[in-house]
């Protein structure tokens, strides 16, 4: 058994507790003990015990990004790149994304769509311990949004087959392109539903048969409405846009989303606050403020992998959440414990609790005072796999002094 004893000025357990000075003990891939440094039992001794001292640092749970695409390389023109990429090239992109995530302290992601099971095949052969909740191949219509990922379905039988195939390959979620989109590929409209009401109900019903939740990509209001009526579990983007350049922000529908406890992942990235054009922050802020006020469950995620959205900029999206009125403590909670709870993995990760996965980061200073320190982790651990992020070249030295 490989034991690590990590001391820091502060430990945020993620359960609301702040322990100072605090210690986290990990044993192989699990958290073995969390508490006040002076109160640590002397159970762990011997040459397989590694001591790590982090003066001035805070240890907290690893971060959870609930909307990523490991197989997309953040290129400005992913449309030709995905379509013309070989499986080996996509696999290389996924491996690079996993390394990037690990160094950034992002220990769990929900991957909402990759081409033709390259995600599954790559993850099966990688040493990465990043927890990936996979949607595998998203369902779409012929020529529709992201059709090049291989998920075109038309009939009920085809829907049943693809959902069953995804489930058999280990999908944790079923992703459906309820409306068209703006990136990657497809000729359908982001403002209109791609599927009929019947088809979407079938998709949700078949996913339920396989015990899988459904994530619905939806921009326009008609698509959001269709997704709510079909009973999906999460709505991605949820931008309420109309094809005349405006918005149809339906308050009754917002209440329905809240009442049915459907999660909304508004895909807020590191440039959200400075976004221009249709989805300027002032517009999104207004929508999100009303949705939060109505009690809609917010799921944090970046859509990383899409153009100009690198996999390691998650913490750079946090100022947008502060701008929505959340406190730093609430933002940390949202990106750790709350995200784990909403994704139904709180029994495995999201808090620093004995018995859970050793998913944690250490950052210089106190993130409850200054969230920006989350962007420069000095240590990251994914299921016991230790990283000294390259962002701070002297980190390893720093942690051992």
CA distance 108 to 356: 13
Shortest CB 203 distance to Zn ion, Å: 17
Shortest CB 217 distance to Zn ion, Å: 7
Nearer to Zn ion, 129 or 134 (CB): 134
Contact of 271 with 301, CB cutoff 8 Å: no
Which spans in 176-279 are helix H? 197-209, 221-230, 251-259
Contact of 220 with 179, CB cutoff 8 Å: yes
Q: Which stretch binds Zn ion (CB under 5 A): 94-102, 106-114, 223-231, 361-369?
A: 106-114
- Total residues binding Zn ion (CB under 5 A): 2
Shortest CB 145 distance to Zn ion, Å: 10
Nearer to Zn ion, 303 or 359 (CB): 303
Nearer to Zn ion, 112 or 263 (CB): 112
How many distinct helices (H) and strands (E) make up the chain? 12, 16
343 contacts: CB under 8 Å, gap ≥ 6: 64, 66, 108, 110, 133, 299
DSSP string, 318-346: HHHHHHTT--HHHHHHIIIIIHHHHTT-T
User: Residue 192 has what DSSP assignment?
Assistant: S
CA distance 156 to 175: 16
Residue nearest to Zn ion (CB): 303
Nearer to Zn ion, 233 or 303 (CB): 303
Shortest CB 140 distance to Zn ion, Å: 12
Contact of 25 with 11, CB cutoff 8 Å: no
Shortest CB 146 distance to Zn ion, Å: 8
65 contributes a contact to Zn ion by CB under 5 A? no
Nearer to Zn ion, 182 or 247 (CB): 182
- Which residues within the stretch 284-303 sit at the binding site for Zn ion (CB under 5 A)? 303
- Which residues within the stretch 108-147 sit at the binding site for Zn ion (CB under 5 A)? 112
Nearer to Zn ion, 149 or 288 (CB): 149
What is the contact surface with Zn ion in residues (CB under 5 A)? Answer: 112, 303
């Amino acid at each position: 058994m490989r034991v690590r004893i990590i001391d820091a000025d502060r430990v945020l357990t993620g359960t609301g507790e702040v322990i100072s000075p605090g210690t986290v003990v990990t044993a192989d891939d699990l958290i073995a003990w969390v508490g006040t440094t002076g109160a640590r039992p002397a159970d762990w001794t011997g040459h397989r015990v590694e001591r790590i001292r982090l003066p001035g640092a805070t240890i907290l749970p690893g971060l959870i990004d609930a909307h990523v695409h490991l197989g997309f390389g953040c290129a400005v023109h992913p449309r030709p790149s995905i379509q013309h990429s070989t499986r080996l090239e996509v696999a290389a992109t996924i491996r690079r994304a996993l390394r990037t995530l690990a160094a950034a302290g992002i220990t769990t992601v929900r991957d909402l769509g990759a081409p033709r099971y390259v995600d599954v095949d790559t993850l099966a052969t990688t040493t990465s311990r990043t927890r990936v909740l996979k949607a595998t191949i998203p369902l779409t219509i012929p020529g529709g949004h992201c059709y090049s990922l291989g998920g075109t379905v038309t009939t009920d039988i085809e829907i049943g087959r693809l959902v069953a195939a995804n489930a058999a390959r280990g999908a944790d979620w079923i992703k459906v392109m309820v409306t068209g989109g703006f990136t990657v590929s497809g000729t359908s409209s982001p403002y209109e539903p791609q599927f009929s009401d019947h088809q979407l109900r079938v998709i949700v019903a078949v996913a339920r048969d396989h015990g899988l939740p459904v994530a619905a990509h939806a921009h326009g209001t008609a698509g959001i409405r269709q997704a709510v009526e079909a009973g999906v579990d999460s709505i991605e983007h949820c931008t309420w846009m109309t094809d005349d350049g405006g918005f149809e922000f339906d308050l009754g529908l917002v209440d329905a989303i809240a009442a049915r406890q459907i999660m909304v992942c508004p895909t807020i990235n590191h440039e959200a606050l400075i976004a221009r054009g249709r989805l300027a922050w002032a517009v999104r802020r207004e929508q999100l403020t009303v949705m939060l006020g109505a009690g809609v469950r917010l799921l944090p995620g970046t859509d990383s992998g899409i153009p100009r959205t690198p996999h390691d900029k998650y913490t750079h999206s946090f100022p947008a959440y502060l701008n929505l009125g959340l406190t730093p403590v609430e933002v940390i909670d949202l990106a750790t414990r709350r995200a784990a709870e909403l994704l139904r993995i709180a029994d495995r990760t999201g808090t620093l609790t004995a018995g859970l996965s050793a998913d944690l980061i250490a950052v210089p200073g106190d993130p409850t005072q200054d969230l920006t320190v989350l962007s420069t982790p000095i240590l990251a651990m994914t299921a016991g796999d230790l990283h000294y992020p390259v962002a701070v070249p002297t980190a390893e030295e720093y942690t051992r002094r």
